[in-house]
Amino acid sequence: MENEELEDGIIELVDDDNNIVKFKLFDVTEYKKEKYALLLPAEENDEVEEDEVLIFRFNEKEQRLETIDDEKLLQEIFDFYRSEEEEDAENGG
């Protein structure tokens, strides 16, 4: 997916059908020495639920988001992110 970051943390992605879909950058996390962007839909979308988080690998060299097809990896990243957030909350962060 091609991406373009706009103001207010809104990122436009182009889907497989060349439709522009807008997302909000929710957070960025690092897992196993790679960075991942967690995105939430910025507008209603038939493809993505309102509270669904999408995770993309952040390719720093090319400054682009890359899709991840490995469901197991996606779950690992999401679980890691949640555990980090819980740990931060417990430590007052």
Condensed to tens digits (0 to 9), the pLDDT of residues 49-71 reads 877 899 999 998 998 899 999 99
pLDDT of residue 82: 93
For residues 66 and 9, give the distance between their C-alpha atoms in angstroms, rounded to a whole number: 18
For residues 12 and 73, give the distance between their C-alpha atoms in angstroms, rounded to a whole number: 24
pLDDT at residue 87 above 90?
no
Beta-sheet pairing, 3-5 with 34-41:
unpaired
pTM: 0.80
